[in-house]
Structure 1
Amino acid sequence: MIDSFLTSLLATLASPWGLMLAVLGTLLGIVLGALPGVSSTMALAILLPLSFGMDPAFAILFLLCVFVASVYGGSISAILINIPGTPGAIVTQLDGHPLARAGRAKEALVYALIASSVGGVIGLALLVVTAPMLASIAMRFKSPEFTAIAVFGLVLLAYASPGSTVRGLLVGAVGLLCGMVGFDALTDVSRFTFDTRGLQGGIELVPLCVGLFGLAEVLRNLHGSHRATPEFDMQSTQLPLPNLRTIAGRWASMLRGSFIGAFVGAIPAAGSAIAVAIAYAQEMRFSRHPERFGHGAVEGVVGPEAANSSSIGGTLIPMMTLGVPGDAITAVLMGSLLIHGLRPGPMLFAENPGFVSSLYAGFFLALLLTLVIGLLLMRWLPWVLRIPSHTLLIGIALLCVVGAYAIRSSMADVYIMLFFGAVGYVLYLLSLPAAPLAFGLILGPLLEENLRRSLLLGRGSWEVFLHSPIAMGLFGLSLLAIILPLLAPLWVRLGNDIKRVRMH
């Protein structure tokens, strides 16, 4: 594995085209990540169509560079103007912006960059070590096990979505219905096409994601398109960098955040938001001066940023080994792989080991370029925040339209993108999570195909699942995840009643 990793890395570095794409992806990722309102998911969604004509290895390299760089880019606006560029940078602003107000903006940016790089390397190491082992186990799975995995993935994704679990499940169910549009894979019967030629091939993942995560965000930000230009102290970004000894003194915070982010990210649907919150809480617990947190504690920047970046490697584990997206961002990455004829899952390791090595090498190169370019552009990055928001929104909307059309050169995909852009905006107005809709489209065909195949093998009997301990265990966990939110109010009420009895 190490030999193939080094070979892929050297091949990428030796290719002018690959290196140029990596640098371009890193620059775009940092810039888009730094812009408030442009999340990592949105950045990938609007840039995904640019990768369609590339070699699969170069396409994933470009997108990984955008992904990794945007994670760091989100901390720039969080530190300088107290507006997180990405959801994972929400915790960073708590101590990063107080540091900037104290004239230590450059110090905070450097700590965020170094911690992000260290966390990314540890997340990559976990991915390289665990993914092949999990893939070898998953290769022994049959239809009942994959059915249970699909159900478990949908429940977890709904469970971890903002708001109530029931709402997440309902949105996921709509995604399942979207996955049934087109011709039936087993009977070749047309379903839910409404006699429309554009829907006969089904709803493509990419236009759905572009509309749901790209155009919908444009619609959400239209009301704030004339906001004032953010103000920040440019002088605070021109100060000398902290020395290496000072940075190395934060190694414990970096390691704690990195391992928390990597392991939490590996849980489907947990994602970076939960990882950074846990990392921040742990830093407060281990700190000798917890009262400094929220007022400019360096550990409050280092720990969460390390967790934010290391969660990238964690989220790739379920996507690559089981074909289950770890979060909304990996759902967009899955769209790129599917466009290039690569199906994420255990067979990816058996059929395309060279591509897997290229993915690892691309991930490492993305981390390296983010570190180098981030340091070189440190004093100029704040000017990115002065881009007028109305200009940015117009450019993103145009990219959404062009990107949707570029998939199959079909206006039907543009209409699908526009439709799901409106759906995403309505979900926002109703305070419903949008991510389960995309997950339902991904996991729906996996669930339907394996469920029907399992019932065929069992001659119509559901007992086929009883013969699989793994499937029954996953079904049990799924049921538990659904029931727990319903029982939580009862437990709280019961606890309050017990307290009242004891008081009397």
Structure 2
Amino acid sequence: MLLESFFTVLADFATSPAMLGLVGLGAILGLVLGAIPGISSTMALAILMPVTFTMEPGVAILFLISVFMSSVYGGSISAILMKLPGTPASIFTQIDGYPMAQSGRAGHALNYALVASTVGGMVGLALLVVLAPVLADFATNFRSPEFAAVALFGIVMLSFASNGSTLVASVVGFVGVLLGMVGFDALTDAQRMTMNQPMLQSGLNLIPVIIGLFGLGELLQNLVRFGDSPTTRPAIGKVMLPLSELTRRWKVMLRGSVIGTFIGAIPAAGSAVAVSIAYAQERRLSKEPEKFGSGHPDGLVAPEAANSASVGGSLIPLIALGVPGDTITAVLMGALMVHGLTPGPLLFANDPTFVSWIYVSVLLALVATLVLGLGMIRAAVLVTRIPPQLMYVFIAVFCVIGAFAIRNDMNDVYVMIAFGVVGFVFSRIGLPVTPLAFGLILGPILEENLRRSLMISQGSWKIFIDRPISATLLAICVLLVALPLITALLHRLYGPLACKRGGKVPSNYPGE
């Protein structure tokens, strides 16, 4: 059924010039925005999401995924040419990409990155098509305790994967959960945390919060970093690579793609974790690891394949469980909710055609990125010369218009500005922003299913322990929160003892 729907949707797209044109437009915007330092894929989606409010749900997801996929490769352009990663996951791309560009092989470096990104995306899509229905079918057996545990697991997992203290990130995540409770209680009709403000009675609208945190917040953060970019851009040089150069690296691309997909499928792990593991793994397996960091193609191909493959991976928990895989899919989830769609296992049963729209959107976005990316390699230098200040003016305007357009309400603009300031302040003082957004998204799911479970069990918390899946997920949550405390305690107990016995504690040992 799903396969038949996939080919039907693909045929509809292939015969629709308007759809193909929309894919091309999204790909161009993603390439340009991704190539500008400081504009991440999340930021690009957040500021362009309001454009889709008047579109049909399938058309909207087609456009947003096109922006998403192309911005992933776009981030490598400034990383290779300027040593300024356009997206966080492109940090590992610049390690070998920039030395290649400096040696006169910028065109080859961009070509390697583009092909690896396409291969990684295709592998990620294939695994998405295979694994998502299996996971969704398994999740159809979930009841309220399991959904509550999955929501809690998503928040805690993100906190564990965040930079800095897991405990601090968990606190930020649960602040997001509290913010999700603002407004009328659906069961008792009582006002919660509204402070008698009419604008808060219906709760915090998710979209202005996302635009504020990931759009305006990042913009303000970038404004304080002006003057850090190099003024010289290398020449592109030759663009096309011999086919043998690409085919001999198929194992590197495949390894990076598989790593990227499975790491990306872990809620909150994200592409940055995937590319770091792929790069480290390839360097470990290489016969010439000493050349990594000086322009080795494998050091460029592996992280780019993992980066693109993580897109398919991050979509697996989103469409199968209704849990965002990373911040970008959190924005996509917000867009789906605006259009009245709730990601999760029931999506496969109730609307398999829309699932096919997602698959086809990823496929067409990859093809468009490959074609347009090859055509734009020589023009890539021009993209890096766009003054960031000019782009930030347009981004600020988009943020305001996008927040207002949701309900034609200035209160949403005020919410967007407030959370933009919150995002900026959090970044400046070292607090993670992403757990706040995840808490706001997953908080209502957690609360609703938690309360429903307790009503079913007549107030007994034992219902979460009696069910194997929820009990396992809750045990993992407890372990993740306690792990930093356990490692610190073990280091305190055994670290000095190891030193007294003549052992050497590594510099990266927990607690050092």
TM-score, normalised relative to structure 1: 0.98
Superposition pairs for residues 99-498 of structure 1, below 5 Å? Answer: 99-225=100-226, 230-234=231-235, 237-498=236-497
- Pair 1:225–1:391, CA change in 2 (3 A): farther
* 1:19 Cα deviation from its structure 2 partner: 1.4
CA contact (8 A) 1:230 1:386 kept: no
Q: Which residue does the alignment assign to 1:51? A: 52
2:404 and 2:412 in contact (8 A); partners too = yes
Partners of 1:169 and 1:179 lie apart in 2 by 15
CA distance in 2, matches of 1:32, 1:443: 28
Instruction: Extract unaligned runs of 5+ from structure 1.
Output: none
CA distance in 2, matches of 1:408, 1:365: 32
Q: Is the 8 A contact 2:169 2:432 kept in 1?
A: yes
User: Is there any run of 5+ residues in structure 2 with no aligned partner, and where?
Assistant: 504-512
Tell me, yes or no, if the aligned pair for 1:227 and 1:389 is still in contact at 8 Å.
Answer: no
Query: Alpha-carbon deviation of 1:494?
Result: 3.6
Deviations 1:319-338 (A, max 9, x none): 11111111100000001100
C-alpha displacement at 1:229, in angstroms? 6.5
For 2:187, what is the secondary structure of its paired residue?
coil
**Residues 100 and 295, structure 2, Cα contact 8 Å, conserved in 1:** yes
Q: Whole-Å Cα distance in 2 between the matches of residues 379 and 86 of structure 1? A: 21
**In 1, Cα distance between equivalents of 2:130 and 2:26:** 26
For 2:263, the aligned partner's letter is V
8 Å Cα contact 1:226/1:389 also seen in 2 = no
1:71 aligns with 2:80: no
Residue in structure 1 matched with residue 507 of structure 2 by the alignment: none
CA distance in 1, matches of 2:491, 2:30: 44
* More displaced 10-residue stretch of structure 1: 107-116 or 17-26: 17-26
1:492 Cα deviation after fit:
2.7
**Residue pair 1:230, 1:385 contacting (<8 A) in 2 also:** no
Provide the C-alpha distance between the structure 2 equivalents of 1:453 and 1:419, rounded to a whole number of angstroms: 33
Letter in 1 for 2:333: M
- Cα distance in 1 for residues equivalent to 2:28 and 2:231: 21
**458-467 or 374-383, which moves further after superposition?**
458-467
Contact 2:105-2:237 at 8 Å conserved across structures: no
Q: Residues 501 and 238 of structure 1: is their aligned pair in 2 closer, same or farther, counting only changes over 3 Å? A: closer
Q: Which amino acid aligns with 2:293?
A: G
Per the TM alignment, residue 79 of structure 1 is displaced from its structure 2 partner at its CA by 0.5
Q: Which amino acid aligns with 1:10?
A: A
**RMSD of the TM alignment (CA)?**
1.3
- Structure 1 segments (4+ residues) deviating >4 Å: 226-229
- Are the counterparts in 2 of residues 262 and 307 from structure 1 also a CA contact under 8 Å? yes
Instruction: Give how far 1:194 is off.
Output: 2.0
For residues 297 and 207 of structure 2, the distance between their equivalents in structure 1, rounded to whole angstroms, comes to: 39
* Equivalent residues of 2:84, 2:229 under 8 A apart: no
What SS does the aligned partner of 1:104 have?
helix
Q: Distance in 2 between matches of 1:397 and 1:244?
A: 44
Question: How many Å apart are 1:386 and its aligned residue?
Answer: 0.8
Question: 242-251 or 328-337, which moves further after superposition?
Answer: 242-251
Cα-to-partner distance string for 1:288-310 (whole Å, 9 max, x where unaligned): 00000011110000000000000
Deviation at 1:162, TM superposition (A): 1.2
Deviation string, structure 1 residues 380-439 (Cα, Å, up to 9, x no partner): 022111111211111111110001011111111101100000000110111000000110
Per-residue CA deviation, residues 7-63 of structure 1 (Å, 9 max, x unaligned), is 111211222221121111000000000000000000000000001111111100000
Partner deviation per Cα, 1:351-400 (whole Å, 9 max, x = no partner): 11100011100110001100000001110022111111211111111110
SS of residue in 1 equivalent to 2:224 = helix
Letter in 2 for 1:127: L
Q: Which amino acid aligns with 1:44?
A: L
Structure 2 counterpart SS, 1:365: helix
Aligned residue number for residue 38 of structure 2: 37
TM-score w.r.t. the length of structure 2 is: 0.96
CA contact (8 A) 2:111 2:239 kept: no
Tell me the alpha carbon deviations over residues 166-218 of structure 1, each in whole angstroms, 9 at most, x when there is no partner: 11111111101110011112122222222222222211111111000010111
CA drift at 1:259 = 0.3
| Cα pair 1:116 1:305 within 8 Å, conserved | yes
SS, match of residue 104 in structure 2: coil
Q: Greater CA deviation, 177-186 or 262-271?
A: 177-186
Work out the CA distance in 1 between the residues paired with 2:432 and 2:143: 31
| Partner SS, residue 201 of structure 1 | coil
Which amino acid in structure 2 is aligned with residue 246 of structure 1? E
Q: Percent identity?
A: 55
| Alpha-carbon distance in 2 for matches of 1:381, 1:202 | 43
